[in-house]
Amino acid sequence: MLKLVYKLFRPEEWQQFQNDMAFSGSPDDRRDGFIHFSTAEQLAETARRHFARDDLIILAEVEADSLGSALRWEPSRGGALFPHLYDRLPAAAVRRHWRLTRTDAGHALPEDLTHG
């Protein structure tokens, strides 16, 4: 079964990612020593906690297996396992992306996210 993970970007991070064709992480990622990802089920809470004040964010979908052994599932918020990437994210790993604008209710996630 295809396992997908998701990364939220601020617009300037996304632009740099597109320019460099790889992403070394946000300031928070670099501080923590890995690139933070979420599953589809974890995404809404991640957006609410860390991107609530951002008018626009970019959501990238990545096939977990394409990241190899550098992707590790580790306990985080509430003991849930979160995907953490201990390497750069290559642009070629992104399958799809969406631009999410903030509304009064927060960032509306795409309805066609793959859960599982």
pLDDT of residue 111: 87
Q: Is residue 60 part of a domain?
A: yes
Residue 43, domain extent: 4-97
Q: Is pLDDT at 77 greater than 90 in this prediction?
A: no
pLDDT of residue 115: 66
CATH code at 90? 3.20.170.20
Compute the C-alpha angle 59/45/93, nearest 5°: 30
Q: Is residue 71 part of a domain?
A: yes
Q: Is residue 85 part of a domain?
A: yes
Q: Is the pTM of this model over 0.75?
A: yes
Q: Is residue 55 part of a domain?
A: yes
Are 58 and 11 spatial neighbours (Cβ–Cβ below 8 Å)? yes
Query: In what order do the strands lie in the sheet containing 4-9?
Result: 4-9, 56-63, 94-103, 106-107
Total domains in the chain come to 1
